[in-house]
């Protein structure tokens, strides 16, 4: 069977997607689900590339969880009215990771400020917030809302107090 040949030729490093692509390039017309099912029946599993878990900042309720003020109303008529933020993990060379925390203006999609770090610590979110607050004091015409997920960074007392001190609404969603 050609599937077994492709699997052994690539030393067990091909999963059903790559085997399906190889079969299609050789002129075989077979559904990817059929390839997946046959591989499961034959016991052919990709050993090399196993998906690792992604970074999740949600650790349960560790601080203040606020209500969802935006309720998926992500459009706004003025700049700096509605901002959003989240932490993203990037995998770099030599198994290193880099974390990015941008603060985005929903008015025009502009990144107002951002922070990067090798570890997802509290300064990763507080430093861009400080930069954003300086900008808001100069340019904001209306009271601002910052929307985020319920990650521990955004539930942290330092984040919440800084927003309250600067009269910024906090909004959270799962």
* Confidence at residue 71, expressed as pLDDT on a 0 to 100 scale: 81
**pTM for the model:** 0.65
Tokens 């570890």 — which residue?
Answer: 119
* Confidence at residue 115, expressed as pLDDT on a 0 to 100 scale: 93
* Confidence at residue 93, expressed as pLDDT on a 0 to 100 scale: 84
CA gap 162, 139 in Å, rounded: 18
Q: What share of the chain is helix, strand, coil (3-state, %, to 5)?
A: 35, 20, 45
* Confidence at residue 128, expressed as pLDDT on a 0 to 100 scale: 93
Tokens 């927003």 — which residue?
Answer: 163
Handedness of CA 59, 65, 67, 68 (dihedral sign): negative
Coil/strand/helix, residue 100: strand
Please provide residue 60's backbone torsions phi and psi, each rounded to the nearest 5 degrees. 85, -170
Nearest CA-CA partner of 99 in 85, 79, 80: 85
* Confidence at residue 57, expressed as pLDDT on a 0 to 100 scale: 64
CA gap 69, 62 in Å, rounded: 20
- Extract the residue ranges of the chain whose pLDDT is less than 50: none
CA gap 150, 166 in Å, rounded: 20
């Amino acid at each position: 069977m050609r599937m077994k040949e492709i699997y052994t030729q690539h030393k067990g490093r091909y999963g059903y997607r790559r085997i399906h692509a190889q079969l299609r390039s050789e002129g075989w017309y077979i559904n990817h689900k059929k390839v997946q099912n046959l591989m499961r029946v034959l016991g052919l599993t990709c050993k090399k590339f196993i998906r690792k878990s992604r970074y999740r900042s949600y650790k349960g309720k560790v601080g203040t969880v606020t209500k969802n003020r935006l309720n998926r109303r992500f459009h706004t008529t003025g700049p700096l009215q509605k901002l959003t933020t989240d932490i993203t993990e990037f995998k770099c060379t030599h198994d290193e990771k880099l974390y990015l925390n941008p603060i985005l203006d929903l008015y025009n999609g502009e990144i107002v400020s951002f922070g990067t770090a090798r570890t997802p610590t509290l300064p990763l979110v507080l430093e861009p917030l400080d930069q954003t607050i300086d900008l808001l004091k100069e340019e904001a015409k209306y009271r601002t809302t910052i929307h985020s997920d319920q990650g521990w960074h955004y539930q942290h007392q330092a984040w919440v107090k800084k927003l309250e001190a600067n009269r910024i609404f906090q909004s959270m969603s799962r």
